[in-house]
Amino acid sequence: MPPSGVPTISPQSLERRIAAGEPLLLLDTRDPATHAGFPFDAPRPVEPLNLPYDRFLQDIDGGLAGLPAPGTAGPIVCFCYRGETAAPIVRALRAAGYEAENLEGGMLGWSELVVPTVVPGSDALGAEAALLQLRRLGKGCLGYALVAGDAALLVDVGRNVESALAAVAQRGAKIARVADTHLHADHISGGPEVARETGAPYALPPADATDVRHAFEPVGDGDVWRVGAVQVRALHTPGHTDGSTSYLVGDRFLLTGDTLFVAGVGRPDLSGQGERLARVLHRTLTATIPALGDRVEILPAHISSAAEVGAAGVASARLGDLKRTTLSGLSADADVFSRSLLAALPEQPPNSDRIRAANRGVPTADPSELEYGPNRCAVTGGMQ
Ligand SMILES: [Fe+2]
């Protein structure tokens, strides 16, 4: 039994139970604003009930009255910010006859979990090739592992690289290169560390690499890498940042970073130069990316909501479909686009300046606290 005196469940076990469709009831004990603003992202759609900690402990009977009777909705898993305040609620639930557990580490622990899923259609890259989407559940961050023969390329991986490295090793491959599409502002990149540990080069667009302290390989527009038998071509797609570079895998999959999403476009303002970069983004979204074929599959670095994840557990969209939806709604006039985009920006993501500093190599004491919070790199509506 852990120090809190109540049974716990690890994030890995909870993920497996949700993925398997086992009945369970999730209970979010955070305050209502956090419940709504930083939702619980899971491998299948789930709707946690919100039972705020302080309200529940002030009126336990009232709180229990809002729950299904014990034994009718499967076991209850409670979660809070870091796994502490939910413990007394688990105790009260168990005293009332419920089978209840506390999620180890709360949302902080859940945010460390990364689940690899094979991208549908990536078998077209070759007999010994696979493209995996690495979904960080609590943050909505997406990274990628391209494995081809005995070589692998990692793109936009966060600092929790264990599951990516395990997936690569399981396929008998070694990391040949690790790359970021841009200098990230919402999560700490795992790229430099993987490069240090494996000796593989770490590729980063030079326009985003001012004051970066670790070694990197500058990647430029049109650069081509071979990963096994698969060709990967760099395509400069600036606007979210000056350096933002997408990677075209086998002419079939475009890893767009934070430039174009399944439901939205990248925000141009995080470096404080929104007006200039919005116009740059306009060219990327109305000329550079649409020049690619309709059947290219767009694979972004984030989702804003679990609704963007398809039945196969992967977030992706055909460029041809986005040309009929998100991209067709964009004005041909860069000024109109720029004004509407800047007016539709969501709130600034938490700690973006400090996260960018960490990605330049400035040491950070507590990376999981720094990264805590929802991802807000996309504009998902209101732009023209
Ligand atoms: Fe970003």
Give percent of the chain with pLDDT exceeding 70.
98
- Could you identify the residue written with the tokens 């506390």? 102
- Could you identify the residue written with the tokens 């196969």? 312
Topology at the third CATH level for domain 8-110: Oxidized Rhodanese; domain 1 (3.40.250)
Residue 228 amino acid letter: G
Average pLDDT over residues 310-316: 91
User: Ligand 1 centroid to 272 CA: how many Å?
Assistant: 13
User: Ligand 1 centroid to 68 CA: how many Å?
Assistant: 41
User: Ligand 1 centroid to 323 CA: how many Å?
Assistant: 22
Tokens linked to 198: 């494996």
Q: Which of 235-249, 255-269, 302-316 has the lowest mean pLDDT?
A: 302-316
User: Ligand 1 centroid to 259 CA: how many Å?
Assistant: 8
User: Ligand 1 centroid to 182 CA: how many Å?
Assistant: 7
User: How many residues can be counted in the chain?
Assistant: 384
User: Ligand 1 centroid to 51 CA: how many Å?
Assistant: 33
| CA–CA gap between residue 241 and residue 376 (Å, rounded) | 15
> Nearest to residue 55, comparing CAs of 68, 46, 65?
65
| CA–CA gap between residue 184 and residue 375 (Å, rounded) | 11
Average pLDDT over residues 152-160: 96
Contacts of 122 (CB under 8 A, 6+ apart): 129, 130, 131, 253
What local confidence, expressed as pLDDT, does residue 369 receive? 82
Tokens linked to 248: 């075209």
User: Ligand 1 centroid to 23 CA: how many Å?
Assistant: 36
| CA–CA gap between residue 134 and residue 144 (Å, rounded) | 5
User: Ligand 1 centroid to 187 CA: how many Å?
Assistant: 8
Residue 189 amino acid letter: S
User: Ligand 1 centroid to 239 CA: how many Å?
Assistant: 10
β-sheet with 25-28: strand ranges across: 8-9, 100-103, 76-79, 25-28, 49-50
What local confidence, expressed as pLDDT, does residue 46 receive? 87
Highest mean pLDDT among 37-51, 83-97, 143-157: 143-157
User: Ligand 1 centroid to 352 CA: how many Å?
Assistant: 9
User: Ligand 1 centroid to 258 CA: how many Å?
Assistant: 5
Check if the beta carbon of residue 140 is closer than 8 Å to that of residue 302.
yes
Average pLDDT over residues 140-158: 96
Tokens linked to 186: 């919402």
| CA–CA gap between residue 279 and residue 362 (Å, rounded) | 31
**Cβ burial 227-260 (10 Å sphere, 16+ → b, else e):** bbebebbbbbbbbbbbbbbbbbbbebbbbbbbbb
User: Ligand 1 centroid to 114 CA: how many Å?
Assistant: 18
Tokens linked to 336: 């109109």
User: Ligand 1 centroid to 217 CA: how many Å?
Assistant: 19
User: Ligand 1 centroid to 152 CA: how many Å?
Assistant: 23
Average pLDDT over residues 287-315: 93
Q: Is residue 86 helix, strand or coil?
A: helix
Q: Where are the domains of the chain?
A: 8-110, 114-379
DSSP element (H, E) containing 146? strand 141-148
Beta strand 114-118 pairing with 129-136: antiparallel
Average pLDDT over residues 135-147: 92
User: Ligand 1 centroid to 141 CA: how many Å?
Assistant: 10
Check if the beta carbon of residue 337 is closer than 8 Å to that of residue 221.
no
User: Ligand 1 centroid to 331 CA: how many Å?
Assistant: 23
User: Ligand 1 centroid to 309 CA: how many Å?
Assistant: 19
Helix, strand and coil in the chain, % to nearest 5:
30, 25, 45
Q: pTM above 0.95? A: no
User: Ligand 1 centroid to 241 CA: how many Å?
Assistant: 8
> Nearest to residue 127, comparing CAs of 251, 230, 226?
230
User: Per-residue DSSP letters for 239-265?
Assistant: SSSSS-EEEEETTTEEEEETSEETTEE
211 sits in the region (left: phi over 0; alpha: psi -120 to 50; else beta) called left
What local confidence, expressed as pLDDT, does residue 4 receive? 65
User: Ligand 1 centroid to 183 CA: how many Å?
Assistant: 7
Side-chain-side CA neighbours of residue 179 (13 Å): 32
What local confidence, expressed as pLDDT, does residue 378 receive? 77
Residue 364 pLDDT > 90? no
User: Ligand 1 centroid to 185 CA: how many Å?
Assistant: 5
User: Ligand 1 centroid to 91 CA: how many Å?
Assistant: 40
Q: What is the mean pLDDT of the chain?
A: 92
Topology at the third CATH level for domain 114-379: Metallo-beta-lactamase; Chain A (3.60.15)
Q: Could you report the per-residue pLDDT of 14-67, keeping only the tens digit for each? A: 999 998 999 999 999 999 999 988 888 887 878 899 999 999 989 999 999 989
Contacts of 260 (CB under 8 A, 6+ apart): 237, 266, 285, 289, 298, 300, 322, 326, 327
Residue 2 pLDDT > 70? no
User: Ligand 1 centroid to 347 CA: how many Å?
Assistant: 14
